[in-house]
């Protein structure tokens, strides 16, 4: 098992998926389990500050096997009670609420069990915040991927504005290109995403249960000035050094 932990927008998903594809391994997005659980909580109308109620909603879904991850790197996603919610879990209502839901210890216990089942004993690349420290502490290779906050925000803003233009964008006619409050203005989007990233980083790193922090033996990669290709090559090299190439012959 290879683990890739780090803050939002560091490139974990792209890198983990591509490393998994290159090795013919499964790809496990642990963040998607927290996002799908958060969507279920929002749909149930449960107040986010009612931790026992939040935990009960999540426990019920896990018990009825209602949360299912697809782990093929070419077709990764997540279903909630049979509905593919892979796109919906990336939207802002879930993104805004996910830190609160993922800070509830009972939620983490239920979802870590589900994540471990998806990862199995071998042959998976798993990404998240605490995969190397808590979910798979005996992983073969542990990576902690980070990047400068502005670079991470610019990357995430690209994802966000791509989503906006695909689904919600108003026609460009009638928009004032100098309007600093135009929600479709790129700088405006980057600034908003940077503020949200900083808020989530702070929340995810300071929560009591399984905060975001590098495993002691993790290899730190700073992706600020690296392309995705370079990071993928580096992680594959770590895998080869750890013996993966020998196993695959």
Q: Could you give the 3-state DSSP secondary structure of residue 238?
A: helix
Q: Could you give the 3-state DSSP secondary structure of residue 125?
A: strand
- Radius of gyration from C-alpha coordinates of the chain: 18
Q: Which of residues 15-34 bind ligand DC (CB under 6 A)?
A: 30-31, 34
The count of C-alpha atoms lying within 13 angstroms of the C-alpha of 204, restricted to the half-sphere facing its C-beta, is 24
Nearest to ligand DC of 16, 46 (CB atom): 16
Strand pairing report for 26-29 and 124-128: parallel
Q: State the number of binding residues for ligand DC (CB under 6 A).
A: 14
Is the distance from CB of 222 to CB of 146 less than 8 angstroms? yes
CB of 225 to ligand DC, least distance (A): 22
Nearest to ligand DC of 23, 131 (CB atom): 131
Binding mask 106-145 for ligand DC (x = CB under 6 A): ----------------------xxxx--------------
Instruction: Give the list of residues 6+ apart from residue 213 with CB closer than 8 angstroms, or none.
Output: 133, 205
Nearest to ligand DC of 46, 95 (CB atom): 95
Nearest to ligand DC of 96, 182 (CB atom): 96
- Chain positions contacting ligand DC, by CB under 6 A: 8, 30-31, 34-35, 98-99, 102, 128-131, 200, 204
């Amino acid at each position: 098992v290879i683990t890739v932990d780090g803050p939002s927008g560091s490139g974990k998903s792209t890198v983990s998926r591509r490393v998994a594809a290159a090795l013919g391994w499964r790809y496990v997005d642990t963040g998607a389990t927290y996002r799908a659980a958060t969507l279920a909580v929002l749909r149930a109308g449960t107040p986010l500050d009612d931790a026992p109620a939040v935990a009960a909603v999540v426990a019920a879904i896990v018990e009825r096997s209602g949360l299912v991850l697809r782990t093929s790197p070419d077709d990764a996603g997540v279903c909630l009670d049979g509905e593919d919610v892979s796109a919906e879990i990336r939207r802002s209502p879930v993104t805004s609420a996910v830190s609160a839901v993922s800070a509830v210890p009972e939620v983490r216990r239920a979802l870590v069990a589900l994540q471990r089942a998806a990862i199995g004993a071998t042959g998976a690349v798993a990404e998240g915040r605490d995969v190397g420290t808590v979910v798979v502490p005996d992983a073969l290779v542990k990576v902690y991927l980070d990047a400068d906050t502005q670079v991470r925000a610019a990357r995430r803003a690209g994802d966000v504005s791509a989503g906006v233009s695909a689904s919600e964008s108003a026609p460009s006619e009638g928009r004032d290109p100098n309007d600093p409050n135009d929600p479709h203005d790129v700088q405006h989007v980057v600034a908003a995403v940077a503020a949200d990233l900083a808020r989530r980083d702070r929340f995810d790193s300071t929560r009591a249960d399984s905060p975001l922090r590098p495993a002691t033996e993790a290899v730190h990669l700073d992706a600020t000035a690296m392309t995705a290709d370079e990071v993928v090559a580096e992680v594959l090299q770590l895998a080869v050094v750890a013996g993966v190439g020998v196993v695959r012959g």
